[in-house]
Structure 1
Amino acid sequence: MTNVIEQLAQHRIVPVIALDKVSQAAPLAEALVEGGLPVAEVTFRTAAAAESIKIMAERGDMIVGAGTVLTIDQAKEAVDNGATFLISPGINPKVVKYCVDNNIIITPGISNPTDIELALDLGLKVVKFFPAEAVGGLPLLKAVAAPYNMMNFIPTGGINANNVTKYLEFDKVLACGGSWMVAPSLYEAGDFSKVVELTKEAVAVAASVK
């Protein structure tokens, strides 16, 4: 299962997707793959999440995870539909323990040293830094990460094409989560070409960071 984390680290960017319509799942997945970024974090913010995860996962050529996982039931539903990693906005010890006990990859959200120590105590080595820009951005991340050289981070929240490079340059950042290349406004008319274009640009940016 750690191979999934390694794959996320190789791609460096995790598209964060909120789908209102299940019918959008297949073409959006196709656009991401065409753009060279076969990764998706489908958030449980909408009723279409579980079925969308299933549709994307059944392709067999994508790393598909579930975001905004708040409960054990959601964790089970996500995995049952093909999610290979889970992400949550905060750190719920019950949910994390369930995932760890069942060999399910989960990266809960943290924003301070207390959260990091709780994550370490639960056996985690990778966490989400959220909401990245709102809580202080890269300066805060570097400050809170300094005492914990065993922990790596996936910053998410307010990250876009203009600031993703500076995050990726920090050696404790495995990948960044962002929605700028998969924003619903880009494909609400049914045209996914802009998603392909922005995804290709994001891939190029990630590849440029040593």
Structure 2
Amino acid sequence: MTRITGKDASVKNRELAALAPIIPVLVVNDVAHARPLAEALVAGGLPALEVTLRTPAALDAIRAMAEVPGGVVGAGTLVTPQDVADAVAAGAKFGVSPGATASLIAACEEHGLPLLAGASTATEAMAMLERGYDMLKFFPAETSGGAPALKAIGAPLPQIGFCPTGGVSPKNANDYLSLPNVLCAGGSWVAPADKVESGDWTGIESLAREAAKLER
């Protein structure tokens, strides 16, 4: 186990953000869907995959997706140190959280898991910056003021890069991605529940291809 610092984590997260404009935010209910879902998204040009720890199948889904060539799988909805330990054991290469607590940050640093921590205010962003984190998740994006709010935060804090998540869609993705402090965005629309449940991997790959073309 190799410890990392906030600065190390931010470097890794910026590298992750550079892979594609959109990071799929995935809720996997059936582990049988995990590998074909990952393969479809990677084939469509979205290699960074966030599997949220919201279902009993999530950790097994991470294990399955970690074996997909070209993919980089991470664990979302990290809330506790135990979530971090479980995610790392399952093969997660990065972690995403809705917010940040001292114990969660410490667990990620101890386990060497780059954390993309959530922040929605200037104070939260500044607190993370003090710890070396200059790449954060803006969450919940739309209900926190959307692109205008993130633009406003970027004026006094231009050194912080963001991945807005929460309400990001094809209709507003460009509003976010056009901002200088947005490096990528997280979205669930590239893997809609109906297509996942029906096994429409071709349809999901098509959605991924469209998302991968978004400009930033």
Q: Shorter chain as normaliser: what TM range?
A: over 0.9
Q: Find the aligned partners of 2:74 and 2:14 in 1 and give their Cα distance.
A: 11
Specify the alignment match of 1:39 in structure 2: 48
Report the alpha carbon displacement of residue 105 of structure 1 after superposing the two structures with TM.
0.5
- Alignment-derived partner of residue 153 in structure 2: 144
Alignment match, 1:63: 72
Structure 2: tracts of 5 or more residues without a match: 1-8
Kept in 2: contact 1:63–1:84 (CA 8 A):
yes
| Bigger mean CA deviation after superposition, 7-16 or 42-51 | 7-16
- Correspondence for 2:6: none
Among 151, 159, 165, the alignment partner of 1:156 is 165
Q: CA deviation at 1:137?
A: 0.2
d(CA) in 2 for partners of 1:113, 1:4: 20
Instruction: Give 1:3 shift.
Output: 4.2
CA contact (8 A) 2:28 2:55 kept: yes
Partner secondary structure for residue 5 of structure 1: helix
3-12 vs 56-65, greater mean Cα deviation: 3-12
Q: Which amino acid aligns with 1:5?
A: R
Is 2:135 aligned against 1:107? no
- CA shift, 1:150, in A, is 2.0
Query: What is the DSSP-based 3-state SS (H/G/I as helix, E as strand, rest coil) of the residue aligned with 2:40?
Result: helix
RMSD after superposition: 1.5
Distance 1:92 1:75 in 2: 13
Q: SS state of the match for residue 188, structure 1?
A: helix
Shift of 1:48: 0.8
Who is 1:118 aligned against? 127
Amino acid at match of 2:53: F
The answer to whether structure 1 residue 182 and structure 2 residue 191 are counterparts is: yes
State the TM-score, normalizing by the size of structure 1. Answer: 0.93
Runs of at least 4 residues off by over 2 Å: 1-5, 7-10, 100-103
Q: What letter matches 1:86 in structure 2?
A: G
Distance 1:139 1:188, change over 3 A: same
Tell me the percent identity.
40
Is 1:127 the counterpart of 2:136 in the alignment?
yes
State the aligned residue count.
207
Unaligned residue ranges in structure 1 (runs of 5+):
none
The CA deviation at 1:172 is: 0.7
Structure 2 length normalisation: TM-score? 0.90
Q: Distance in 1 between the 2:200 and 2:191 partners?
A: 12
1:21-36 to structure 2, matched below 5 A, reads: 21-36=30-45
Question: What is the correspondence of 1:165-180 to structure 2 with a 5 Å cutoff?
Answer: 165-180=174-189
Q: Contact conserved, 2:22 with 2:187, CA < 8 A, in 1?
A: yes
- Superposed CA deviations along residues 51-93 of structure 1, whole A, max 9, x for unmatched, are 1011111224211111000011111111111111100011112
- Alignment counterpart, residue 193 of structure 1, candidates 192, 198, 202: 202
In 2, Cα distance between equivalents of 1:6 and 1:160: 23
